[in-house]
Structure 1
């Protein structure tokens, strides 16, 4: 396999200088640095670079950050002996993508693991390695295929490699149940705390928590909500979800009321496209859309102030799904969750999963 040496030099002529390579301007460098890339790495690229073109084709900062991190991890997994630069990062722009093969990627995908933090019997979180889910491996396959496709567009990768990547079969693996159902007394404690806040930041956080718990939004979808997405007549919300898919869904009072309270109170400050933006320390909203990591911080802070254990934002979505299955059935829950198939919805039913686990453990003890 190819090795990338220190200071981003390569044994291979990966990105030869040429008259058709346009250096990136300072504002473009600043833009790509937002995605978690160092300035030195970005400046080693050029406007027509396949990776630059791929990131430029994405629709949101959230997607760019996510894809950038995946590209970095793929590079490290494909070339485990790679010598990284001084900042402990692989330069994805000088990485020898055109030397990678679909067969090597398929082997990497098969053995792919992820880090999980699982509570032991004492309630202490332990770091564990677990097989990556089918969904995660399909996501990595999709990103790798896109990277190689952009290289194929400039004749640096044969089209046959793209076809070979497309033919890779990603099989489902047996994985332990992750996630949890949030008890009513726990999320009500957080809601009570947030309802006491009257600042712009506090009312924003209350609306976000309500949309996660009572509308089942993903944390990455919060920052994408725009004022025009709200249907005030129908009391519904147009949600910009995965894969740039749009879906309008009704909002229950528990989600609608905190959202309206936030908008009604802070309307003068909301003269911008995105409703949920980052907040400054002086409680004013900035023009920067709130990112997923910001949503996670907001929930952690609210839980700490409410005196309850930290809640993962996606567990609020799991709780929403479980409650809707119990009340309305799987088909309605699938529609509200915007799942492509009911099997995915069934996996979100945390009460059924917990009951199954208890029965299994009981049988194991008495078997």
Structure 2
């Protein structure tokens, strides 16, 4: 497929950059950029390619089919293939909007099927004992410990994504009503109730941080100085959790695992997936159903009833 990257000059505006700039969050932009780099490496036959400056407007149906086959041959999961092709379609749509790609070619590109198959979701739900150990690891008498306890209490107690929690400001909270207003994926707003303990943890952190404007969760220097002018990043949340789960002596977990624990616990206790869908901010209930582990428990009980000679 090397010929695709060596044809005539690229259009005036790089549609890959136009597409990436249209995405809502830095996390989405980083994720989709990595997908497009995978495609760029296939197109240029260069496994170390780092440039998105390619003639995307020259891609045709047969090229996209070849990209899909290459991804499958590389052992990419069905979800990865689907997401990578979605990123490519976003670029081609940007090229179309820029006047560099025809509607007929866009239709043909969109007709490329992502393929079948599925994989079990990655990640895990934490046990109640692990949540308790994680929270206990934050109670070290330091400003960072107070902050991290408040941070985790919202990610676990309100099911927040790390990209959502780093954007929180004082105006998002209604402490009297114990509610939190969140701007989530797709610029969709939702309001969720907060556990009383989560409100207490956030209030304790604000006593340390102060009520200055800016991100609620900010950086703390090694000296203990709270930098209210430097908000945490989504990657920073990942590193904070990594530090705390190691201190807690529990198995590896990710920030999304706290959201996963929130969802699976509520579904298990309440049994109302649609209610949990609203709390999580999902548009599609099928997304929420991935957190439903009740069938797994039934299958385990069924297998335990199976007699087997020893």
Q: TM-score range by the shorter chain?
A: 0.7 to 0.9
Partner in structure 2 of residue 132 of structure 1: 78
Change in CA separation of 1:174 and 1:213 when aligned onto 2, cut-off 3 Å: same
Residue of structure 2 equivalent to 1:124? none
Deviation, 1:303, is: 0.8
Aligned pair partner of 1:277 in 208, 218, 240 = 218
The 1:150/1:343 distance shift into structure 2, 3 A limit, reads: closer
C-alpha deviations, 1:268-310, integer Å up to 9, x for none? 5x432x2223444334326454333222211110011122222
Per mean C-alpha deviation after superposition, the further-off stretch among 223-232 and 164-173 is 164-173
1:82 corresponding residue in structure 2: 45
In structure 2, the partner of 1:50 is: 15
Contact 1:205 1:298 in 2 (8 A): yes
8 A contact 2:15–2:56 mirrored in 1 = no
**Mean Cα displacement is larger for which, 314-323 or 221-230?**
221-230
User: Residues 103-252 of structure 1: matches in 2 within 5 Å?
Assistant: 103-106=62-65, 108-109=67-68, 112=71, 131-133=77-79, 136-170=80-114, 173-199=117-143, 201-252=144-195
Structure 2 equivalent of residue 37 of structure 1:
none
Partners of 2:35 and 2:173 lie apart in 1 by 32
TM-score, structure 2 normalization: 0.83
| Distance change >3 Å, CA 90–CA 232, structure 1 → 2 | same
**Partners of 1:360 and 1:340 in 2: how far apart?**
35
Instruction: Report the Cα distance in structure 1 between the residues aligned to 2:73 and 2:276, rounded to whole angstroms.
Output: 28
SS at structure 1 position matched to 2:164: helix
CA contact (8 A) 2:156 2:261 kept: yes
Residues 361 and 287 of structure 1, relative CA distance in 2, 3 Å threshold? farther
RMSD over aligned Cα, in angstroms?
Answer: 3.2
5+ residue gaps in structure 1? 5-9, 22-47, 116-128
Q: 1:140 to 1:278 in 2, by over 3 A?
A: farther
Q: 1:266 aligns with which of 209, 212, 225?
A: 209
Q: 1:171: how far off?
A: 5.3
Higher RCO, 1 or 2 (CA under 8 Å, sep at least 6)? 2
The residue number in structure 2 matching 1:304 is 246
Return the offset for 1:50. 2.8
Q: Is the 8 A contact 1:193 1:305 kept in 2?
A: yes
1:50–1:151: 8 Å Cα contact kept in structure 2?
A: yes
Is the partner of 1:174 in helix, strand or coil? coil
Q: Distance in 2 between matches of 1:177 and 1:12?
A: 40
Change (3 A) 1:171 1:53: closer
- Go from structure 1 to structure 2 and tell me whether the alpha carbon gap of 1:346 and 1:237 turns closer, same or farther (over 3 Å shift): same
The Cα offsets for residues 59-99 of structure 1, whole Å up to 9 and x where unpaired, read as 433333223222212323x42x5236xxx333112x23122
The aligned residue for residue 98 of structure 1 is 57
Normalised to the residue count of structure 1, the TM-score between the two structures is 0.72
Structure 2 unpaired stretches of 5+: none
- Asked if 2 retains the 8 angstrom alpha-carbon contact of 1:148 and 1:162, the reply is yes
Q: When the two structures are aligned, how many residues end up with a matched partner?
A: 307
Contact 1:2 / 1:96 at 8 angstroms: preserved in 2?
Answer: no
